[in-house]
Structure 1
Amino acid sequence: MSNPALFSLAGRRALITGASRGLGLTLARGLGEAGAHVILNGRTPDALEKACSGLRGSGIAASTCAFDVTDQDAVRSGIDRLTQEGPIDILINNAGIQHRAPLESFPRAEWDRLIRTNLDAVFFVAQAVAKGMISRGSGKIINICSVQSELARPNIAPYTATKGAVKMLTKGMATDWARHGLQINGLAPGYFETEMNAALVADPAFTEWLCKRTPAARWGRSEELIGAALFLASDASSFVNGHILTVDGGLTASV
């Protein structure tokens, strides 16, 4: 590579929400291996410390900051603590949940929980972090979207609504904040073998449908999202703003 520094994250601090396990932890490891000091966020300190210890054991600079991303006051307090230790150069808004049920009987409590976790939290954390980024004139925000930002499936209409909203919030953030030197983009995974999708992975009928529906004819592996995240987190994407980078094995390219 003629300019590997384009993808280097050396000297940068990256906050990843929902990072004690799953996709968030995988992305944290990828950013850490590219040189970033990664800060793992979640609600359970013990789980965060366990994940952090594993990263440190691999030679990655890592720390934790536990707070509830659905609580705006807790978010502001947590970000204030972090910025006293150093700037947050990169934010990955990864925290998210799923609940599957027929729309006609979807529980109101689960609707509210999805909105708080998948949408409110993206706004709360990005707003709190962006203030410091704006004052410095630089920063990277990556919001985790989904192929469900574009397409629906039975029994997940509320989840689809949240991810469609995150897509448009990402574009709105770019519209407001790009002038201050920030790049705000979305990363939209297709169907990956993650804990959130464990029930679907274990369902032979669904896996058969997915492999027929996806041109790549397989589930994605979590580590296959790292390259896209590094691109959006690094100087390589310095003029990319409001873009949704889909990584789905071709699913949304075909009918």
Structure 2
Amino acid sequence: MFLPSFELTNKLAVITGATKGIGKAIAVSFAEAGADVVLIARSNEQLEEVKAMIEELGRKAVTIQADVNEYKLIKEQIDNIIGERPLDIWVNNAGMNIRREAMDVTEAEWDQIVSTNMKSAFFLSQYAAEKMKDNQQGKIINISSVGGHTALRTGVVYAMTKSALIQMTKNLAMEWGKYNINVNAIGPWYFPTALTEKLLQDENYVQDILSRTPLKRIGKLSELAGTAVFLAAEASDYMTGQTLFVDGGMTIYGF
């Protein structure tokens, strides 16, 4: 049972990268809190699976099969889906990483990571804000990373984009506060996702992660999804421009 300020009853949320890991957990948690959800991802089969899970919870779900870089397609489809219904919540979750040492990064890899992780988040946030400002309310949530705050051993371009999301969150919060739009971010450490699946099968790698994590364990997706519900709900109405690190304490160490 949710406290009233944590309810999302009859809210409409859009989530990118909504079929795996963090995005899937957030989508299901939003539905559990009472929201209807628009799911955006590339795999139609996986979209249908998550849609079915949400409908089993008694909420509505609509799917958009698209890459987040297809801004025009996404905007057109959402316009058709929601009509005059207010857009309440937007989650920029879709992201990617190519783990390379800095000397080995190619220009093509740079462009792909920057476009997916950063450029898409900006222009989709811009679209969401245009929808939200007419209703003088809305919540935008960016999924960043501890890598946006603390140096990573590899994945420099990924870390740069996640750092940019943190700064973008602050700037958009400042600009759009006048429309009563809250813009916040979440910075995860290690959770079981498609990006970390192979890494977490390496026991030596896991032990290295735990050595830098005060709570000495990998995060649970439910723990991250709860933070997203908080940022989407009335409970966080007086909070904007912030990044919440859900990291088992990793950023305390900063190494």
- Does the CA-based 8 Å contact 1:190-1:247 persist in structure 2? yes
Output the amino acid matched with 1:191: Y
- Does the CA-based 8 Å contact 2:16-2:94 persist in structure 1? yes
Residue 79 of structure 1: how far off its partner (Å): 3.0
Match of 2:50 in 1: 51
Match of 2:162 in 1: 163
Identity of aligned residues (%): 36
Structure 2 Cα separation of the partners of residues 119 and 176 of structure 1: 18
Structure 1 Cα separation of the partners of residues 187 and 123 of structure 2: 20
Match of 2:98 in 1: 99
Match of 1:129 in 2: 128
Secondary structure at 2:185 match in 1: strand
Structure 2 Cα separation of the partners of residues 6 and 97 of structure 1: 33
Match of 2:232 in 1: 233
Residue 58 of structure 1: how far off its partner (Å): 3.7
Residue 85 of structure 1: how far off its partner (Å): 6.0
- Does the CA-based 8 Å contact 2:92-2:143 persist in structure 1? yes
**1:198-240 deviations in Å (ceiling 9; x for gaps):** 1220111111111111000011111111221111000011110
Could you list the runs of 5+ residues in structure 1 that have no partner in the other structure? none
**1:54-94 deviations in Å (ceiling 9; x for gaps):** 32234343221233321232233233223316222001110
**Cα RMSD for the two superposed structures:** 1.6
Secondary structure at 1:220 match in 2: coil
Structure 2 Cα separation of the partners of residues 166 and 185 of structure 1: 10
Could you list the runs of 5+ residues in structure 2 that have no partner in the other structure? none
**1:126-163 deviations in Å (ceiling 9; x for gaps):** 11111010111000000001101111222200000000
**1:98-138 deviations in Å (ceiling 9; x for gaps):** 11012111122111110010001101211111101011100
Structure 2 Cα separation of the partners of residues 68 and 195 of structure 1: 16
Match of 1:90 in 2: 89
Residue 168 of structure 1: how far off its partner (Å): 0.6
Structure 1 Cα separation of the partners of residues 249 and 91 of structure 2: 24
Match of 2:253 in 1: 254
- Does the CA-based 8 Å contact 2:6-2:229 persist in structure 1? yes
Structure 1 Cα separation of the partners of residues 198 and 64 of structure 2: 30
Residue 17 of structure 1: how far off its partner (Å): 0.5
Match of 2:66 in 1: 67
Structure 2 Cα separation of the partners of residues 241 and 21 of structure 1: 27
- Does the CA-based 8 Å contact 1:38-1:61 persist in structure 2? yes
Q: How many residues align?
A: 254
Secondary structure at 2:182 match in 1: strand
Secondary structure at 2:58 match in 1: coil
Aligned counterparts, 1:74-223, within 5 A: 74-84=73-83, 86-223=85-222
